[in-house]
Structure 1
Amino acid sequence: MPLSIASSTLIGIRGAPVEVEVDVATGIPAVRIVGLPDAAVGEARERIRSAIRSSGFTWPARRITVNLAPADLRKSGGSFDLAIALGILAASGQLQLASRQIAALGELALDGRVRDVPGALPLALPLVAHYERTLLLPVETAAQLGAHAGVSAHGVATLREAVNLLQGAAPVVHRVPASSVDVDLHSQEDRVLVPDLSSIRGQPMATRALLISAIGRLPLLLEGPPGVGKSMLAHALHGILPDLTSAEATEVGAIASAAGRPSPVPRPPLRTPHHDLTVAGLIGGGPRMTPGELTWAHRGLLILDEIGEFRRDTLEALREPLERQVVRLSRAGRSEQFPAAALLVATGNPCGCGELDSLDGSCLCTPRARRHGSLSLSAPIRDRFALRIRLGRPVAPISTMPTGGLTTAAARELVATARAALPAEGEASKRVDPMLLRAYARGHTDRISGRGWEHLTTIACVAGLLGGRESFGESELAEALHFLGVR
Structure 2
Amino acid sequence: MNYSKLSSATIQGIEAMKIDVEVDFDNRSVFNDIDVVGLGDTAVKESRKRVKSAILNSGFSLPHGKFVVNLAPGDVRKEGSMLDLPIALCILASTGIVKVNEDTLAVGELSLSGEVKRVSGILPVLLSLSEHFNGMVIIPKDNEEEAKCVKGLHVYAVRTLRECVEFLRGDISLKNIEYSGIRAIDPIQNIDFSDVRNHEMVKRAVEIAVAGFHNILMIGNPGSGKTMIAKRIPTIFPPMTEEEIIETSKVYSAAGYPGIIRNRPFRSPHHTASTVSIIGGGTSPKPGEISLAHNGVLFLDELPEFKRDVLEALRQPLEEHRVTVSRAKFTVTYPARFMLVGAMNPCPCGNLGDEKQPCVCSPRDILRYKKKISGPLLDRIDVVVNVPKLSFEEMMKKAEGEKSSRIRGRVIKARNIQRKRFKETDISFNSQMTHKMLRKYVQLDAESEEFLKRYVDRYGLSGRRIDKILKLSRTIADLENSEKIELKHLAEALQYRFRED
TM-score (norm 1): 0.89
In the alignment, structure 1 residue 105 sits paired with structure 2 residue 120: no
SS at match of 1:153: strand
Off by >6 Å, runs of 4+ in structure 1: 181-184
Equivalent residue letter for 1:127: L
CA drift of 1:383 comes to 1.5
CA drift of 1:441 comes to 4.4
8 Å CA contact retained: 2:117, 2:140: yes
SS at match of 2:271: coil
CA separation in 2, counterparts of 1:127 and 1:461?
A: 42
Map 1:441-480 → 2, pairs under 5 A: 441-446=452-457, 447-480=460-493
Deviation sequence 1:139-167 (CA, Å, 0-9, x none): 12233122366755111112222223323
CA separation in 2, counterparts of 1:169 and 1:471?
A: 70
CA separation in 2, counterparts of 1:89 and 1:24?
A: 10
CA drift of 1:270 comes to 1.0
CA drift of 1:403 comes to 3.9
Find the counterpart in structure 2 of residue 116 from structure 1.
118
CA separation in 1, counterparts of 2:62 and 2:294?
A: 46
Mark the CA change 1:87 to 1:404 in structure 2 (over 3 Å): closer, same or farther: same
Equivalent residue letter for 1:78: S
Map 1:203-222 → 2, pairs under 5 A: 203-222=199-218
8 Å CA contact retained: 1:223, 1:388: yes
Map 1:110-149 → 2, pairs under 5 A: 110-147=112-149
Mark the CA change 1:461 to 1:402 in structure 2 (over 3 Å): closer, same or farther: farther
Map 1:44-123 → 2, pairs under 5 A: 44-97=47-100, 100-123=102-125
> Which segment drifts farther, 41-50 or 290-299?
41-50
8 Å CA contact retained: 1:9, 1:16: yes
Find the counterpart in structure 2 of residue 417 from structure 1.
413
Tell me which of 298, 302, 311 is aligned to 1:302.
298
Find the counterpart in structure 2 of residue 387 from structure 1.
383
SS at match of 1:147: coil
> Which segment drifts farther, 452-461 or 440-449?
440-449
CA drift of 1:291 comes to 2.4
CA separation in 2, counterparts of 1:360 and 1:85?
A: 70
> Which segment drifts farther, 421-430 or 247-256?
421-430
Deviation sequence 1:363-414 (CA, Å, 0-9, x none): 1113564367456421111121100002223467224546455211232233
In the alignment, structure 1 residue 439 sits paired with structure 2 residue 450: yes
In the alignment, structure 1 residue 258 sits paired with structure 2 residue 254: yes
CA drift of 1:245 comes to 1.2
Deviation sequence 1:249-304 (CA, Å, 0-9, x none): 11111211222223453111111111112222211233233322111111111100
Mark the CA change 1:402 to 1:148 in structure 2 (over 3 Å): closer, same or farther: farther
Deviation sequence 1:186-227 (CA, Å, 0-9, x none): 99xx74xxx411221221111011111111111000002222
CA separation in 1, counterparts of 2:23 and 2:177?
A: 33
8 Å CA contact retained: 2:137, 2:153: no
CA separation in 2, counterparts of 1:333 and 1:236?
A: 41
Find the counterpart in structure 1 of residue 18 from structure 2.
17
8 Å CA contact retained: 2:135, 2:154: no
User: Percent same amino acid at aligned positions?
Assistant: 34
Give unmatched runs, 5+ long, in structure 2: 423-431
Mark the CA change 1:460 to 1:61 in structure 2 (over 3 Å): closer, same or farther: same
Equivalent residue letter for 1:283: I
Equivalent residue letter for 2:92: L
In the alignment, structure 1 residue 337 sits paired with structure 2 residue 333: yes
Find the counterpart in structure 2 of residue 8 from structure 1.
9
8 Å CA contact retained: 1:230, 1:347: yes
SS at match of 2:9: strand
SS at match of 1:273: coil
Equivalent residue letter for 1:115: K
Mark the CA change 1:150 to 1:467 in structure 2 (over 3 Å): closer, same or farther: farther
In the alignment, structure 1 residue 247 sits paired with structure 2 residue 243: yes
8 Å CA contact retained: 1:36, 1:72: yes
In the alignment, structure 1 residue 37 sits paired with structure 2 residue 33: no
In the alignment, structure 1 residue 238 sits paired with structure 2 residue 241: no
Mark the CA change 1:131 to 1:175 in structure 2 (over 3 Å): closer, same or farther: closer
TM-score (norm 2): 0.87
SS at match of 1:385: coil
CA separation in 2, counterparts of 1:152 and 1:126?
A: 14
Mark the CA change 1:4 to 1:368 in structure 2 (over 3 Å): closer, same or farther: farther
CA drift of 1:317 comes to 1.3
> Which segment drifts farther, 393-402 or 276-285?
393-402
Equivalent residue letter for 1:311: K
Mark the CA change 1:149 to 1:211 in structure 2 (over 3 Å): closer, same or farther: farther
Equivalent residue letter for 2:145: A
Mark the CA change 1:226 to 1:236 in structure 2 (over 3 Å): closer, same or farther: same
CA separation in 2, counterparts of 1:255 and 1:46?
A: 30
CA separation in 1, counterparts of 2:368 and 2:13?
A: 33
SS at match of 1:18: strand
* RMSD of aligned alpha carbons: 2.9
Mark the CA change 1:54 to 1:183 in structure 2 (over 3 Å): closer, same or farther: farther
Deviation sequence 1:115-150 (CA, Å, 0-9, x none): 111333334433333431211001122331223667
CA separation in 2, counterparts of 1:441 and 1:170?
A: 75
8 Å CA contact retained: 1:148, 1:246: no
In the alignment, structure 1 residue 324 sits paired with structure 2 residue 337: no
8 Å CA contact retained: 2:216, 2:383: yes
Tell me the matched-pair count.
Answer: 477
CA separation in 1, counterparts of 2:322 and 2:177?
A: 38
Tell me which of 323, 326, 351 is aligned to 1:355.
351
CA separation in 2, counterparts of 1:258 and 1:370?
A: 42
CA separation in 2, counterparts of 1:18 and 1:163?
A: 21
8 Å CA contact retained: 1:352, 1:371: no
Deviation sequence 1:409-468 (CA, Å, 0-9, x none): 232233223212113343465253454554244223353333323322222222122223
Equivalent residue letter for 1:214: V
SS at match of 1:67: strand
CA drift of 1:12 comes to 3.1
SS at match of 1:397: helix
Deviation sequence 1:24-82 (CA, Å, 0-9, x none): 23321421110122232222222222222333333132221100112122222211111
Equivalent residue letter for 1:57: F
8 Å CA contact retained: 2:411, 2:479: no
Mark the CA change 1:434 to 1:67 in structure 2 (over 3 Å): closer, same or farther: farther
> Which segment drifts farther, 99-108 or 46-55?
46-55
8 Å CA contact retained: 1:242, 1:267: no
8 Å CA contact retained: 1:228, 1:393: yes
